[in-house]
Amino acid sequence: MQLTRPRRRRATASRLATAVVALASFAAPGSPPAAGDDQVRAAVTYFAEPAPNTNLNVVHPQVSYSQDFGDHFGLAVGYDADVVSGATPQVFGVDAVTAATKFTDARHNGSLGLRFLSEYATLRLGGGFAGEHDYRSGTVNAGITTELFDRNTQLSVDYTHNFDRVCDANNAANQELLELRALDSSELCFRKDSDQVATRKLAIDTAQITWTQVTTPWLLLQFGATGQVLRGFQANPYRQVLLGERAVQEHLPGVRNRIAPWARAKFALKPIRGSIEADLRGYFDSWSVKALTAELAWDQYIARPIVLRARARWHMQDSALFYRDGNQYASSGPIGSYWTGDRELSALFNSVYGVKATYFIKSRGKQFLRFIDQFVISAKADMIFYRSRTANPQFSPNYDRTKGLLDAVVIQAQAGFDF
Amino acid sequence: MHSRSRSEPPRRVVLGLAVLLAPLVGGCARAVLPSEKAYLADPIMQFDPDGLEASANAHVFSNREGAAGGTGTAGGGCGCN
C-alpha cells in the first residue's frame, strides 16, 4: 500500500471549511446577540471523539460582545477559535485505521456586525475573517428584518458571500485525474515563492429567508429556507482515496447547490413554567445528498433563576451520488470521475441527547457593578451516537469512531452578563 | 375505481399543511395583543436564545453531516423589542 510521507501538520481543511461556512454563513443570520440585547458572553466548548486509533479532540473558545448605541445603531463583535488534535487516516481504504496519522491545528475567526434600527426594519451588515495555515476565509453579509401586524409577524432575509482560499498541492503538471497527489504539509501554504503548493478558490453564496409568527399567547412558529451555491475547490487537499492499488487525492465536483427548508414550533407550558420546541429540517443538494433532521427540546424553570433544558436530535441522510465504501473503491474503482473518503458524504444516522443548566443571577440594585443587570452562567453536555447506513459499515470512513458505546461528547461552559 | 389526477396534490399533503397552518391562520385572525405576550417574552420562549451554543452546535454538526443550513433564526419570543 502506498503511503504519503510523514506530515508535520495535518489540517482538516475540508472540515474547517465547512465550519467557516457554518459560522459565517448560517449562524450569522441567526447569531445572537439579538437586536436590542446589550451583552457580553464567553464560552468554551470541548468536543471529543474517542477511538482506539483515530481519536479527535477540539477545544473551541468563543467570545461575543453586543451593544446598542442609542435607538438607531448597534454593534456586535465576535471571536472564536478551534484547537484541533487527534489522529486521522491518510488514505481512505480498507486498512485505513492502521495508517492513521497524528495531527494538530488551530483556526482563528473574527467577526464584526453593525445594526441599523428604525421604526420599520432592522438592517444588518457584517463581515469576518477566518484563518489557519492552509485555509483562509473572508465573509461579508447583509440582512434585513421587519415586523408586521402588531409585531406578531417577523420577516427576515439574509445573504452571505464567502471569499475562501484553500491550500492545495500543485497538480498543474498532472494532466490525468489519477495522478492527482495530495497536499502533504501546510508549511509552504500561501507563500508566493513556492511552486510545490497552489492556492485554490472557493466562492460561497448563501441566502436565507425566515418567517416567524406569533400565533397565540402560547405558540410561536417559524418557517424558512436556506439556499447555498458553492463554486470552487471543495475537497480535503490532504485526503487520499485508494483506487485499485493507487492512492489518489480526493476529487469532488466544483459546484454544489444546496437547499434546506425548515419548520419550527415553540409551545409554552405556562402552568409549569416551561416550553417545548420541535424542529424539522429537510435538505437536498446537487450531489444527491438528501437528509431529514428532527429535534425536540424541553426547557423548564427549576426554581426561578435556573432553567434546565433537555433535548434530543436525530439526523438521517443518504450518501452522495459518487460515494463508495473503501472496499468498493479498491476493488471496482470510482463511479465516474469523482471519489471521496468523507464520512459527511456517506449514508448515516446520527443521534444526540443532551442536557443544559442555565443560572440567571439578577443584579439587585446593581450591587455587583453599576452597569450590569444580570449575570448568566450555563453548562451543558451532549452525547452523540453515529451509525453508518451503508451496506458494509466496516469499510465506511471513520468507522473506527462509530464502534464505541458513546461515539462523541460535547461539553460546554459559558458565562456572561447583560447590561 | 377513483383515480387522482396527476396535478392534484396528495390528500396527506393537504391534510398535513392544513394541520400545520391552522394555528397560523387562527393566530392571524386575531392579533395577539402586547398584554398577552408576557410569557412569550421569557428567554425560554425564544428560538436559539443562546447564540454561542447555537453557533457551536452548527459548528459540530456541519463537520459531521453532509447537510448544512436550515437551522433557523434566533429571536421570536414576544416580538416586542
Burial of B59 (0-12, 13-18, 19+ CB in 10 A): buried
Domains and CATH numbers, chain A: 13-414 (2.40.160)
The mean pLDDT value for A303-330 works out to 92
Provide the pLDDT for residue B19. Answer: 66
- Cα A3 to chain centroid distance, Å, stands at 30
Provide the pLDDT for residue A398. Answer: 78
Which residue, A166, A179, A189, A200, is CA-closest to A249?
A179
Provide the pLDDT for residue A365. Answer: 66
Is some CB atom of chain A closer than 8 A to the CB atom of B29?
no
The CB density around residue A123, as the number of other CB atoms within 10 Å, is: 14
Which residue, A115, A173, A295, A384, is CA-closest to B60?
A384
Q: Cell numbers at residue A99, please? A: 495508517
Give the Cα separation of A265 and A409 in Å (integer).
Answer: 27
In the three-class reduction of DSSP (H, G, I as helix; E, B as strand; rest coil), residue B80 is classed as coil
pLDDT tens for residues A353-371? 999 999 998 877 655 577 8
What's the DSSP call for residue A237? T
pLDDT tens for residues B7-18? 566 677 667 666
Phi, psi of B52 (to 5 degrees): -65, -35
Q: How confident is the model at residue A152 (pLDDT cuts 50, 70, 90)?
A: very high
Nearest-CA residue of chain B relative to A320?
B66
In three state form, how does the secondary structure of A13-28 look? HHHHHHHHHHHHHHHH
Nearest-CA residue of chain B relative to A266?
B45
Nearest-CA residue of chain A relative to B58?
A22
What's the DSSP call for residue A93? S
The mean pLDDT value for A73-90 works out to 90
pLDDT tens for residues B44-72? 999 998 999 999 998 889 888 888 877 76
Using the Cα atoms of residue B41, residue B43, residue B45 and residue B49 in order, give the sign of their dihedral: positive
Is some CB atom of chain A closer than 8 A to the CB atom of B11?
no
Is some CB atom of chain B closer than 8 A to the CB atom of A19?
yes
Provide the pLDDT for residue A273. Answer: 93
CB contact under 8 A, A21 and B68: yes
Between B32, B46, B81, which is nearest A216 by CB? B32
With b for 16 or more beta-carbon neighbours within 10 A and e for fewer, the A374-389 pattern comes to bbbebebebebbbebe
- Cα A67 to chain centroid distance, Å, stands at 26
Is residue A16 within 8 A of residue A164, CB to CB? The reply is: no
Provide the pLDDT for residue A288. Answer: 95
Provide the pLDDT for residue A29. Answer: 32
Provide the pLDDT for residue B53. Answer: 94
Is residue A113 within 8 A of residue B51, CB to CB? The reply is: no
pTM for this prediction = 0.85
Provide the pLDDT for residue B7. Answer: 54
In the three-class reduction of DSSP (H, G, I as helix; E, B as strand; rest coil), residue A218 is classed as coil
Is some CB atom of chain A closer than 8 A to the CB atom of B68?
yes
**How distant is the Cα of A30 from the closest Cα of chain B, in angstroms?**
4
pLDDT tens for residues A162-205? 999 999 999 988 878 988 998 888 889 998 888 889 999 999 99
Between B65, B72, B73, which is nearest A350 by CB? B65
The mean pLDDT value for A277-297 works out to 96
Provide the pLDDT for residue B39. Answer: 87
Provide the pLDDT for residue A207. Answer: 96
Q: How confident is the model at residue A227 (pLDDT cuts 50, 70, 90)?
A: very high
Q: Is residue B6's pLDDT more than 80? A: no
Burial of A370 (0-12, 13-18, 19+ CB in 10 A): exposed
Provide the pLDDT for residue B4. Answer: 52
Q: Is residue A379's pLDDT more than 80? A: yes
Is residue A141 within 8 A of residue A53, CB to CB? The reply is: no
Provide the pLDDT for residue B8. Answer: 63
Is some CB atom of chain B closer than 8 A to the CB atom of A107?
no
Q: Cell numbers at residue A82, please? A: 478551534
Q: Which range among A343-352, A385-394, B16-25 has the greatest average pLDDT?
A: A343-352
Average pLDDT, chain A: 86
Higher pLDDT, A234 or B73: A234
Give the Cα separation of A390 and A335 in Å (integer).
Answer: 16
Give the A window 224-253 contacts with B, CB below 8 Å. Answer: 224-228
Least confident of A52-61, A147-156, B61-70, B72-81: B72-81
Is residue A299 within 8 A of residue A275, CB to CB? The reply is: yes
In A186-331, DSSP assigns E strands to 197-216, 219-232, 240-243, 246-249, 255-269, 274-285, 290-302, 306-317
The mean pLDDT value for A136-163 works out to 94
Which residue, A89, A98, A93, A95, is CA-closest to A12?
A89
Between A21, A301, A384, which is nearest B62 by CB? A21
Across chain A, which distance is largest between two alpha carbons, in Å? 73
Higher pLDDT, A414 or A103: A414
Is residue A317 within 8 A of residue A290, CB to CB? The reply is: yes
Burial of B78 (0-12, 13-18, 19+ CB in 10 A): buried
- Cα A237 to chain centroid distance, Å, stands at 19
In the three-class reduction of DSSP (H, G, I as helix; E, B as strand; rest coil), residue A195 is classed as coil
Phi, psi of B11 (to 5 degrees): -60, -35
Q: How confident is the model at residue A1 (pLDDT cuts 50, 70, 90)?
A: very low
Question: So what's the ipTM on this one?
Answer: 0.84
The DSSP bridge pattern shows strands A91-92 and A240-243 to be: parallel
Provide the pLDDT for residue A310. Answer: 98
Q: Is residue A414's pLDDT more than 60? A: yes
Q: How confident is the model at residue A18 (pLDDT cuts 50, 70, 90)?
A: very low
pLDDT tens for residues A89-120? 778 877 655 567 788 889 999 999 999 999 89
The CB density around residue B58, as the number of other CB atoms within 10 Å, is: 24
Residue of A14, A15, A16, A18 to mutate, testing the B interface (most B Cβ within 10 Å of its Cβ): A18
Q: Is residue A43's pLDDT more than 80? A: yes
Nearest-CA residue of chain B relative to A380?
B53
